[in-house]
Amino acid sequence: MGEYITTHTGEILVQLRDHMLISLYALLIAVLIGVAAGYFASRSSAAERLLSVPFSVMRVVPSLAILVLLIPVMGAGMNSAVIALTILAVPPVFLNTIVGFREVPDFIKESARGIGMTGRESLWKVEVPLAMPMILAGIRTALTEVIASATLAAKIGGGGLGEIIFTGLGLNRSDLLWIGGILVAVLSLGSGILFDIGSRRIIRWK
């Protein structure tokens, strides 16, 4: 393992960078879609029923199957991997956003209107801060799933740390499997710790 890391340091760093970029792009897109859709669904039961079905289907479809299905449409490479991972990451953000907004007590919203807040002011100064812990929990779940599943991007030429793992599988080399697995685990744990630190600063009022 030490010899491989020493002789392939540059290659490993490129794979680590690609893994992080794929995960970051997918997570950002998922947050934009999931939070917006979750907010509208929390305001309307009809919208929730309409949106919950496709998002529930997204949750049960394996990431590898999505990647394979996207190849004829998007071709191989990073773009297909980002889309597949976005589909994986949207559901937890969407569902937690719905719960977060619906758990805001009605009396607090009524109090905000009672002191003269407009609907927009009440949303951004009252509802969003109170819903934020639940939304961040959904993003945290999506982050972990995306980083772990991004290893599959290598299967369609998307790069990432999965290249080390799949090379190890192809050559029957356990050292490469250990290197790839450990790097993905460290990246996942490190990202989770940084996200938790950032979350505590965002909701430090809690």
18 vs 60, higher pLDDT: 18
Which of these, 152, 130, 135, lies nearest to 61 by C-alpha position? 152
Read off the pTM: 0.86
Kindly list the domain boundaries of the chain, sorted by start residue. 2-202
Please state the rounded mean pLDDT for residues 31-43: 92
Please state the rounded mean pLDDT for residues 167-194: 89
Please state the rounded mean pLDDT for residues 123-147: 91
Which of these, 90, 190, 149, lies nearest to 198 by C-alpha position? 190
Its CATH architecture, for the domain 2-202, is: Orthogonal Bundle (1.10)
pLDDT band at 74 (very low <50, low <70, confident <90, very high): low
Residue 72 scores a pLDDT above 70 = no
Question: Residues 93, 202, 106, CA angle at the centre, nearest 5°?
Answer: 65
The tens digit of pLDDT for each residue in 80-117 reads 888 888 888 999 999 999 999 988 888 888 888 888 88
Q: What is the 3-state secondary structure (H, E, C) of 107-169?
A: HHHHHHHHCCCCHHHHHHHHHHHHHHHHHHHHHHHHHHHHHHHHHHHHHHCCCCCHHHHHHHH
The answer to whether 141 and 92 are in contact (CB under 8 A) is yes
The residues near 168 (Cβ < 8 Å, ≥ 6 apart) are 174, 175, 176, 177, 179, 180
| DSSP string across 74-120 | H-SSHHHHHHHHHHHHHHHHHHHHHHHHHTS-HHHHHHHHHTT--HH
The answer to whether 63 and 149 are in contact (CB under 8 A) is yes
Q: What is the pLDDT of residue 142?
A: 93
